[in-house]
A and B are shown apart, each in its own frame.
Chain A
Amino acid sequence: MSEAWRGASVTLLVIAVFGLLAVAPAGGAAPAPGAADPAAAANATASNCSSCHAYLVTNRTPRKLTVETPDHSFELEHGDGRFWCLTCHAPGNRNRLVLFNGSTVGFGSKNATPLCAQCHGPVYDDWKEHIHGTWEGSWKDGTPKKYCVDCHDPHGPAFGTLTPAPPPEQPPDPLATAGALLPDWYALAFGVVLVIGVGLVGYAASTVERDQP
């Protein structure tokens, strides 16, 4: 409870600081417009992380994050606890992602592909050869329809479930079909024909017997 309260107060403090910076005539290194607005913080996307983080001291200690606006408190379900934020997010510039060699790549599914390829080499090789992933266009030279993180959530890459499209219709029940096609009195007619037929056969049989001697 106290942690949550602390997180909220930190958020408020950040917003207040940004408000002052925005109001100040020479507000430092081009503060993002609208960062003072709590609504803007709520709408923060991957492209403007620096609007807050540029003014925060980078804390490199892996820890549970509690900032709620925008939501930093989700469970990371990638890497079985080996990773935390700064494994992929660049500490120096939160608008970019960092590779193991220290160079950075931008956000966006296409840009982030080398980042995923660092660990998932065989899958990346398959993807380059069009074996993995979805491709569109021509079978001669397909173009990627999706890049890694378009399908796999980087914070929880396991695939979810989908609602299946409806199953094919069952073949019709033969008795129901017969009932629909034949008139209502078909059972009666069938019975009458059967009785007459049995009678005729019986009569024929009795005739054969009579003629025997």
Chain B
Amino acid sequence: MTEDVPSDDAETDVPDTGKERSGPATCDCGSTVDEDRRNFMQGVAAAGATTLGAIPFTSEAELEAILQKHFKEMSEQEKAELVERLEKKYREKYDTPVDVSTAEAEEGVVFGYALDIQKCIGCRRCVYACVEENNQSREAPGHPETTQLQWIRVLELPDSHLEPGTEQNTDELVGDELGTKFGTITAGISYEESDHYYDPDEVPEEDTFYLPVQCQHCEDPPCVKACPTQATWKEPDGIVVVDYDWCIGCRYCMTACPYYARRFNPSEAHVPEDELNPDMHYLGNRPRPEEAVEKCTFCIQRSREGEYPACVEACPVGARKFGNLLDPENEIRRILDQKRVFRLKQHLGTEPKFFYFME
């Protein structure tokens, strides 16, 4: 085998002389191995040449996108280049100047959210404010490839009621029914009985209450544990974010989420040009590439600038409250101190930072 090495060198030095190829083959002990190697090397060279040949057909931006680092590992310089590349891309696609931010979490801030279920009337103003703010994909009539995504889902649930004189049925009670000496009380949140496609002429309807559900921004998020590429994580200010460029679209996180808070778009986001929100954040509302999972980010592009999320400002009855959990003077802390508060599926131990409250 050792005598093959110089002959290989000779071959690489003078690759176009066919005669050289017969030289090493004279050694019968190494002939098959050598041919295998030669074939392998030729294959590698061909593959390399194909790859190199493909480079001129790949734009520089596409190449940069392929070689992009994980967002958390990027330097300031790399983030700046990334922002420049994305702004150029969106500017060309939507024909309007956009501003992509990479603002980081503020020190001493952990965001919390509270929703008054006594006030919510189920009008879905928050849903559409969210769609517009976050450049969510809309369905275009006549284009089945466009997907409608909404990060907020409003559930309509039957209100609690008391059936007097039914206390003898306590043995048969299941689910949310509770036998008391006054009668059977049906109360609580029963997802099986909930309806999110309700469409009456007027809301609120009689004997119902409404429960809007979106990303609960868990302190111990199961979706983050499920992600095989670390494309989703919890930021220092408590917002659970997704790096859409690192998401491979496996949807494990959607399966892991107990709140049905994550959405998957098999096609690229369809946002009409004139409805694009140009104030974007890399981890927030920039138009998502295809086959990425997305979800509520507490409007990271707004909350990191000190603003209320869009749903909070859109709510006509003031049921939605948002603030800094670390500031004792903040409205969110006052709600936790003064009101009756619960969290969804508390028994799962996900520790949501999204609270529901009532008087």
Contact = CB atoms under 8 A, between A and B. Distances in A.
A and B assemble together: yes
Interface of A: 129-140, 142, 145-146, 151, 159, 161-170, 180
Contacts of B203: 161-164
Contacts of B196: 167-168
Contact of A145 (B121, B124, B313): B313
A139 B308 contact: yes
Contacts of B339: 131
Contacts of B324: 139-140
11 contacts: A134-B315, A134-B317, A138-B308, A139-B322, A162-B203, A163-B202, A164-B198, A165-B123, A166-B124, A167-B198, A180-B144
Secondary structure at the A interface, as helix, strand, loop or mixed, is loop
Going nearest first, the 7 A-B pairs with the smallest beta carbon separation are A130-B331, A161-B202, A165-B124, A134-B318, A138-B306, A162-B123, A167-B197
Contact of A139 (B153, B201, B307, B317): B307
B285 to A, nearest CB: 18
Interface string B335-346: 100110000000
Contacts of A161: 121, 202-204
Interface residues of B, number: 41
Interface of B: 121-125, 127-128, 139, 144, 148, 150, 153, 196-204, 303, 306-308, 312-313, 315-318, 321-324, 330-331, 334-335, 338-339
Contacts of A159: 121, 317
Of A135, A166, A169, chain B has the most CB atoms within 10 Å of the CB of A135
B321 A131 contact: yes
B318 A133 contact: yes
Given A134-B317, A163-B202, A165-B128, 8 more contacts: A132-B318, A138-B306, A139-B322, A139-B330, A140-B324, A162-B123, A165-B125, A170-B197
A159 B202 CA distance: 12
Contacts of B200: 164
A166 B201 CA distance: 10
Nearest to B305: A138
A163 B204 CA distance: 9
B323 A139 contact: yes
Contacts of A139: 303, 306-308, 322-324, 330-331
A49 B88 CA distance: 59
Contacts of A136: 308, 313
A139 B313 CA distance: 11
A166 to B, nearest CB: 7
Nearest to B319: A134
A164 B199 contact: yes
Contacts of B303: 139
A165 B321 contact: no
A94 to B, nearest CB: 31
A167 B124 CA distance: 8
A164 B212 CA distance: 13
A65 B144 CA distance: 61
